[in-house]
Amino acid sequence: MDVSTLNHKIAIITSAKLIELEIVDWIVVDYPTQTIALWRGKQHDILYKQINAYNGSTTLPSFDSIVADIQKLVGEPTTYDVTSTALEASRVIKATPGYLTNITVYNDSASAVYFQLHDATALPANGAVPVFSFLVATKGTVNLPLGDGLSFSKGIVVAGSSTAATLTVAGSIAWFMASYI
């Protein structure tokens, strides 16, 4: 069949909720005679579903109604928050894959400190290279809103460091507040 003659639309729907379900992405393709939904999980190949009968009907649903049904299934992502209960040197925000959506750091030190974000399940050893590093002034606070989130494939760890490019763990000088999905 000549692809150029197909009157189809494609939508890619992503959501943090899909990560919880271990589904990486959805693609719905609406052809004139059939609708196909594809989804890909983290630990398996692309799965295929051809939707010829929908809700007991032989009439094909519209593309928009399939997208709406997938969005209902997926829902809005749940945001989780973590907050320090005392000054600390580092914090495992999430020990599994996820998205960091916001982080606030208070530096209680008498000097400026670099704070690093690491893609890890636990605090990495000194010398580890961060995903991102930012400087917080003496007795200062920095808030980083990250929109839809910064993706971490292993886990999310924040640590104070005396150096920017590699981890050199500072003492228990920070207060962390973070949100993730």
Q: How confident is the model over 160-174, as a mean pLDDT?
A: 97
Say yes or no to pLDDT of 59 above 70. no
Percent of the chain with pLDDT over 70: 57
Q: How confident is the model over 34-61, as a mean pLDDT?
A: 48
Domain boundaries of the chain, sorted by first residue? 3-74, 80-180
Say yes or no to pLDDT of 164 above 80. yes
Please give the C-alpha separations between residue 122 and each of 11, 84, 131, in angstroms, as whole numbers. 36, 16, 14
CATH class entry, domain 80-180? mainly beta
Alpha-carbon gap, residue 75 to 68, rounded angstroms = 10
Predicted confidence (pLDDT) per residue in 83-139, tens digit: 999 999 999 999 998 889 999 999 999 999 999 999 999 999 999 999 999 999 999
Say yes or no to pLDDT of 25 above 60. no
Q: How confident is the model over 157-162, as a mean pLDDT?
A: 98
Q: What is the pLDDT of residue 33?
A: 56
